[in-house]
């Protein structure tokens, strides 16, 4: 069975212009791209989101927006990934605009269960391994991922310190797939 690997973006990790790196990422056919650039203003995010959506659609790769609900309502990506504080206050009528395509960013079993109650269709659970994004914060590890996956009513995607080599143990722990950030910044185009 296929184990989907998603890209969650962080343009600060790329050594080349973001859209050029996105082209390289898309050439590798991730299961989807989650545009996470949370440090942008709404206006900047909409502008970038429009470009990313176009590239993703040309490549046939689903695009999900992260955090920016207003941008998602305007540009209609394939889905939206929300931090728990945003999901908690999201009006139900807005959630219905993304049927089957609302993800939640979770860091405990309690949050995963809450996300499911609030109508999330899937969630990320992080961070599994040590990661540069969370220096000094202990990872949750495979055993906690296993426990969360066993009790979650929605698919759980592992996030944090993920590389393709870790896929077998993530599958064994019950993850529905994985979301990678830093690894995508290291990849070159298959044609280069």
CATH class of 5-186: alpha beta
Q: What is the pLDDT of residue 99?
A: 79
66 in active site: no
Which tokens belong to 191? Answer: 């044609």
Across 46-101, the runs of DSSP E, i.e. the strands, are 63-66, 79-83
Q: Is 167 exposed, middle or buried (0-12, 13-18, 19+ CB in 10 A)?
A: middle
CA of residue 40 relative to chain centroid, distance: 17
Query: Per-residue confidence of the chain (192 residues) as pLDDT tens digits?
Result: 589 999 999 999 888 999 999 999 999 999 999 999 999 999 999 999 999 999 999 999 999 999 999 999 999 999 999 999 999 999 888 878 887 899 999 999 999 999 999 999 999 999 999 877 767 778 899 999 999 999 999 999 999 999 999 999 999 999 999 999 988 777 654 444
Name the token pair of 32: 């989807």
């Amino acid at each position: 069975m296929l184990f989907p690997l998603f890209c969650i973006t962080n343009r600060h990790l790329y050594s080349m212009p973001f859209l050029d790196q996105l082209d390289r990422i898309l050439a590798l056919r991730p299961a989807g791209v989650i545009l996470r650039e949370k440090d942008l203003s709404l206006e900047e995010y909409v502008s970038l989101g429009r470009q990313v959506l176009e590239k993703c659609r040309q490549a046939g790769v689903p695009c999900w927006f992260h955090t920016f609900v207003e941008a998602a309502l305007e540009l209609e990506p394939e889905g939206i990934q929300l931090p728990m504080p945003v999901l908690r206050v999201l009006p139900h009528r807005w959630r219905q605009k993304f049927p089957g395509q609302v993800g939640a960013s979770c860091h405990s079993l309690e949050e995963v269960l809450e996300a499911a109650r609030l109508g999330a269709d899937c969630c990320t659970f992080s961070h599994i391994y040590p990661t540069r994004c969370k220096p000094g914060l202990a990872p949750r590890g495979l055993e906690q991922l296993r426990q969360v996956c066993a009790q979650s009513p929605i698919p759980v995607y592992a996030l944090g310190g993920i590389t393709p080599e870790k896929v077998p143990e993530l599958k064994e722990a019950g993850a529905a797939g994985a979301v990678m950030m830093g690894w995508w910044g290291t990849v070159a185009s298959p044609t280069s």
